[in-house]
Structure 1
Amino acid sequence: MTEEIIIAGFGGQGVLSMGKILAYSGMMMGKEVSWMPSYGPEMRGGTANVTVIISDNRISSPVLHEFDTAILLNQQSVTKFESMVKPGGVLIYDGNGIVSHPTRKDISIYRVDASEEAVRSNMQKTFNMIVTGAYMKVKPIVHMADVLKGLKSSLPSRHHHLLPSNEKAIEKGMEIVVPVNVVSANCCVNCH
């Protein structure tokens, strides 16, 4: 098994830490992992993305041009990376601020309204964990116990008291992710 993931959005959305947590989770499961971040000089507010590979086998290169899964958190990321999902792959996106929704019919598309849920539930700091939960529901490659271990490994010990709220956010993401029918998604966009 090899899972090649791109996570992309604005700096400050927790894109890089989400990738790091998935990579740590893979390590906890005894997998080979790669975590390769990329971000503009602006950081917060600019675009950021991270490539994560989780594999049973050695990883020959962290540089990828197509992905099994794309987790896209802003319009620029949808525009740039939708075409890079392998046929049969998965695209998960947050609908906040998206005006041109994904349209491919050869991949599975899921929407998680994580921004809206984070604000509604007063969980803004765990937005990326809501998205992580959506990924875990759609592609159960990493397990909750390993994600929590990965989270604990990646967080400074002064933030370990936040682990229960992160677990709650992951569970919320698992609850609210929904498959998107491309035809109805476009209809909904045109109807509003």
Structure 2
Amino acid sequence: MLEEIIIAGFGGQGVMSMGQLIAYAGMLEGKGVSWLPSYGPEQRGGTANCAVVVSDEPVGSPLVTRPSTAIVLNNPSFDKFEQKVRSGGLLIVNSSLVTRVSDREDIKIIEVTATDMANDLGNSRVANMILLGAFLETSKIVSSDSILESLKKVLSADKHHLLEINKQALEKGALLVGMRIS
């Protein structure tokens, strides 16, 4: 198993955290992982993406040029990465913010109104976790238990009061995809 993932959006949307969570969870499960962040010239509000590789074997390179999965949180990220997803791959789109629609028929596309759903939970900042839940339910690359354990490392101790809402967001994203599959 080899999963090469690009996660992209604006700074402040939790792009890097999503990548870290997947990498930490993969490590907890004894998998080979890499996480490679890439920032635009600005930090919060600028474009940001990260490449994550999860494999049953040691990872040879952290570079991802033709991802098996792209998770895009805004229009510039959609424009940059939608066509790079390899045939047979997966594109997960935050359709609350991405106004473009893919016409590709060679990949699986999941549109999630993640920002709207996060607002319904009372915290717009957990949109990334809703998308992550949808990705985990679809890919089964790591378990949600490993993600939740990793969340304790990614969130600083003073943010641990946010563990519960992040768990709810993860479950909401998984349930959404689970309902579509059924």
TM-score range (shorter-chain normalised) is over 0.9
Unaligned runs of 5+ in 1: 181-192
Are the structure 2 counterparts of residues 99 and 157 from structure 1 closer, same or farther at C-alpha, using a change threshold of 3 Å?
A: closer
Measure how far apart 1:99 and its partner are.
2.7
Q: Distance in 1 between matches of 2:161 and 2:99?
A: 37
Cα distance in 2, alignment partners of residues 14 and 87 from structure 1: 27
* Mapping for residues 177-192 of structure 1, pairs under 5 Å: 177=177
Paired amino acid for 1:143: S
- The residue correspondences of 1:35-50 to structure 2 (distance < 5 A) are 35-50=35-50
CA contact (8 A) 2:96 2:112 kept: no
Q: Which has the larger radius of gyration?
A: 1
The Cα RMSD (Å) is 1.6
Q: Distance in 1 between matches of 2:96 and 2:165?
A: 22
How far apart in 1 are the matches of 2:65 and 2:22?
Answer: 20
**Residues 153, 125 of structure 1: alpha-carbon distance in 2 compared, 3 angstrom cutoff:** same
Identify the residue that residue 81 of structure 2 maps to in structure 1: 81
What is the rounded CA distance, in whole Å, between the counterparts of 2:178 and 2:102 in structure 1?
14
Please name the residue that 1:167 is paired with: 167
**Once the two structures are superposed, what CA deviation does each residue of 1:17-37 show, in whole Å capped at 9, x if it has no partner?**
110011101011011110000
Report how far residue 178 of structure 1 moved.
8.3
TM-score normalised to structure 2 length: 0.93
Tell me the equivalent position of 1:121.
Answer: 121
What is aligned with 2:154?
154
Q: Number of residue pairs matched?
A: 180
| 8 Å contact from structure 1 (residues 71, 93) kept in 2 | yes
Under a length normalisation based on structure 1, what TM-score does the superposition of the two structures give? 0.89
Q: 4+ residue runs of structure 1 moved beyond 3 angstroms? A: 177-180
Aligned partner of residue 100 in structure 2, secondary structure: coil
- AA at the equivalent of 1:30: G
**SS of residue paired to 2:38:** strand
